Amino acid sequence: MLRSLKAATAAATLSLTLACDAAPEVFHSDKARFRLETVASGLEHPWSLAFLPDGSQLVTERAGRLRRIRGGQLDPDPIAGVPEAAVAGQGGLLDVVLHPDFANNQLLFLSYAHENHQGKTTRVSRARFAGDRLESVEVIFDALPRSRTNRHFGGRMAFDEDGYLYLAVGDRGDRPRAQDTRDDAGGVHRLTIDGDPAPGNPFLELTDVQPTFFTYGNRNIQGMTRHPITGEIWTHEHGPRGGDEINLISAGTNYGWPTITYGIGYSGLPITDKTAMPGMAQPLHYWDPSIAPSGMAFYTGTDVPEWQGDLFVGALKLQKLVRLKIREGQVVEEEDLITGFGKRIRDVRMGPDGVLWLLTDERDGEVLRLVPQ
């Protein structure tokens, strides 16, 4: 009898322990309690996320595949017809964004690293989404000149309120290119959906600046989002060792890289002794040391009213989510979230369901929802 009672007690304890272990971890912040809900896993270094009108999602894998998630299930087969990406170093299939009128025209845009005999570059293609495949795929932009490096492709994209496409191109690991306005590297380009310079671009009348440039002097932008109220385009970019920046993108602005920076070289040696110069913009906010920022999104949900309008930025190196409260152009509050999560955050998106979505940059990458409790 005693042995049976002990066995029953042990079994009950084990069952309770397993149940507790299986329970999702609840994270605490200054403003909210929330858990991370796994929507899908088994993705190879997912890079970008887009929400389709029917409630499903598209996810890019840096390895060159475009995947679809329906009803919380990852389709076993990738979307067919995706253009071939050069998968090496930081290159591969990068961003996916939907045309603002996607519900009617089914157009989407992909950025990716592309290679030919002249080298690699950041390329953008437009395509028509046909459910399980892409059709009418057309290259609309190649950043030139090409080079042999596998770094700093940039690749983040966003549409403005006028329907023009913003594309970030990194300096390709060659610092001086970001200040060379005849070179497509190291800046933000503003394009029509055909890849032409957008009307109203700041350098259209100049012969020594690429007409698609909207800004230059950018090192490697990998976060870009449109402000939900003002419609302005916000970005962040990787610094070297320190000097990660958040910037409000303004027409014709030189953001200074590498002439000014708050970071130092990976060798530990200075890149420059200047953090400011006339004619070069200061960042809205910067990190030192580097957090290696990734995707970013403004919170527009209603579950956590205290987060309304806050900017959320993922971090690769420091494996966390950062919340920034911004008032009148100043960061007035900064909070680190999910610091014990232990995975690289690649993308952050505000979902149509009113919650934040995250991608983890892992060989077995995940799509996650941040669900308030």
Q: Is 200 exposed, middle or buried (0-12, 13-18, 19+ CB in 10 A)?
A: exposed
Amino acid identity of residue 142, one-letter, is: D
Looking at the annotation, which residues are catalytic?
A: 152
Question: What digits encode the pLDDT tens for the residues 57-87?
Answer: 999 999 999 999 999 999 999 999 999 999 9
Q: What is the pTM of this model?
A: 0.93
* CA-wise closest residue to 255 among 322, 337, 187: 187
The confidence band for 1, taking pLDDT boundaries of 50, 70 and 90, is very low
Q: Hey, where are the domains in the chain? A: 26-372
Percent of the chain topping pLDDT 70: 94
Question: What digits encode the pLDDT tens for the residues 177-225?
Answer: 999 999 999 999 999 999 999 999 999 999 999 999 999 999 999 999 9
Tokens of 195: 């890849």
Distance, in Å, from the CA atom of 347 to the CA atom of 342, rounded to the nearest integer, reads 15
Distance, in Å, from the CA atom of 223 to the CA atom of 236, rounded to the nearest integer, reads 5
In the three-class reduction of DSSP (H, G, I as helix; E, B as strand; rest coil), residue 62 is classed as: coil
Question: What digits encode the pLDDT tens for the residues 257-274?
Answer: 999 999 999 999 999 999
In the three-class reduction of DSSP (H, G, I as helix; E, B as strand; rest coil), residue 146 is classed as: coil
Whole-number pLDDT of residue 24: 65
Question: What digits encode the pLDDT tens for the residues 118-176?
Answer: 999 999 999 999 999 999 999 999 999 999 999 999 999 999 999 999 999 999 999 99
CATH superfamily name and code, 26-372:
TolB, C-terminal domain (2.120.10.30)
In the three-class reduction of DSSP (H, G, I as helix; E, B as strand; rest coil), residue 293 is classed as: strand
Distance, in Å, from the CA atom of 172 to the CA atom of 219, rounded to the nearest integer, reads 8
